[in-house]
Amino acid sequence: MDNEHIIELVKNTLVAAGSTFKQDKKDAYKKAIDKETNEQAKWVLETILENAEAAQKNQSPLCDDSGIPHLVLEVGPNAAVTGNMLEAIKTGVKEGLRKLPGRPMGIMGNDSERIDQSGGLNPDSAGVEAAPILIRQTSEDVVRLHILMFGGGPAIRAKTYRVFHKHNTQVVLDEIVKWSIEATAQLGCTPCTLAVGVGRSHYEASSMMLQALVDGTYDRQSDMEQEITKRVNEANIGPLGLHGDTTVLATFMKVGPQRASGVRVVCVRPCCCFEPRIATVDLV
């Protein structure tokens, strides 16, 4: 595949990520609407689904915080990724941000100016740089790119920290539920999809969280995922924090290799009502 073709595919995949609900998420919303007993909560869920249909039809942003691109690249056993291909992906991301259009929220300036936002905003949507690419292996003979758009609200409420597990999984689950209830009560953009990663370092836990969003599905949930969802929903926070039965639509959890130690590092991201904003494309 030549670079021009890759750029075009990546551009359109980014637009799809920022404007489209996957079918399993639509189904999860429909189920939640049917079950919801709180009048205001039901109205919020219906409005979010209506917004998703409008965004998909217009190929326009689901949310004005169109998000920071996070890329996961899967590489098969006989596939090769070249520097040129990575450059084409980077160009495709820029073109996708312009087409969506993404919110022009790239901050300019030196290190200090980017921290205190005194360097000004880049007026170009493409001034928003993607986060570093995560690469992992797959058994399929492909180069597969997943594009996820991460909003700012969940980043404010996310937490990555150590948990002393006391050789009991329940201790870790209890902590995840506690963090999630605190986060969803403050988020404002519920219902959430909780993304959870468990690793040996903060980097690894965050990486697991990202991969959980790639691999997770609303219609197939593990026992641990179901327990977390059920317990957080019992807190009655509800859509937009207005109470009701639907604080969390689902939990996507990935547990990585663990250290011989009393410590687990846990990353919990309370993804907003539109996340995961994700789309996938095969480049080879």
Residues 6+ apart with CB under 8 A from 281: 9, 10, 12, 13, 144, 145, 147
Cα atoms in the 13 Å half-sphere on the side-chain side of 51:
14
In the list 16, 71, 100, 253, the residue contacting other proteins (rule: CB under 8 A) is: 100
Q: Which is nearer to other proteins, 58 or 168 (CB)?
A: 58
Smallest gap from Cβ 104 to other proteins, in A, equals 6
In the list 130, 142, 185, 235, the residue contacting other proteins (rule: CB under 8 A) is: 185
For 172: left if phi > 0, alpha if psi spans -120 to 50, otherwise beta; the answer is alpha
Q: Choose one: 49-57, 81-89, 139-147, 214-222; the region binding other proteins (CB under 8 A).
A: 49-57
Q: Choose one: 44-52, 82-90, 158-166, 221-229; the region binding other proteins (CB under 8 A).
A: 44-52
Cβ neighbour number for residue 176 with a 10 Å cutoff:
25
Is residue 138 a contact residue for other proteins (CB under 8 A)?
no
Is residue 135 a contact residue for other proteins (CB under 8 A)?
no
DSSP state of 64: S
Cα atoms in the 13 Å half-sphere on the side-chain side of 197:
25
Smallest gap from Cβ 278 to other proteins, in A, equals 18
Phi, psi of 71 (to 5 degrees): -115, 135
Query: In whole angstroms, what is the distance from residue 117 CA to residue 59 CA?
Result: 30
Is residue 104 a contact residue for other proteins (CB under 8 A)?
yes
Q: Is 250 helix (H, G, I), strand (E, B) or coil?
A: strand
Query: How many residues line the site for other proteins (CB under 8 A)?
Result: 45
Residues numbered 194 to 233 that lie near other proteins (CB under 8 A) are: none
Q: Choose one: 74-82, 138-146, 244-252, 268-276; the region binding other proteins (CB under 8 A).
A: 268-276
Query: In whole angstroms, what is the distance from residue 88 CA to residue 94 CA?
Result: 10
- Paired tokens of 166: 């006391």
In the list 172, 177, 240, 278, the residue contacting other proteins (rule: CB under 8 A) is: 240
Is residue 128 a contact residue for other proteins (CB under 8 A)?
no
Q: Which is nearer to other proteins, 14 or 75 (CB)?
A: 14
In the list 3, 91, 186, 221, the residue contacting other proteins (rule: CB under 8 A) is: 186
Q: Choose one: 76-84, 140-148, 173-181, 241-249; the region binding other proteins (CB under 8 A).
A: 241-249
SS (H, E, C) 143-201: EEEEEEEECHHHHHHCEEEEEECCCCHHHHHHHHHHHHHHHHHHHCCCCEEEEEEEECC
Q: Which is nearer to other proteins, 48 or 75 (CB)?
A: 48
Amino acid at 98: R
Residues 6+ apart with CB under 8 A from 236: 243, 244, 245, 247
Q: Choose one: 79-87, 174-182, 227-235, 239-247; the region binding other proteins (CB under 8 A).
A: 239-247
Residues numbered 54 to 83 that lie near other proteins (CB under 8 A) are: 54-55, 58, 60-66
Site residues for other proteins per CB under 8 A: 19, 40, 43-44, 47-48, 50-52, 54-55, 58, 60-66, 100-105, 117, 120-121, 123, 125, 152-153, 156, 185-189, 240-243, 272-274
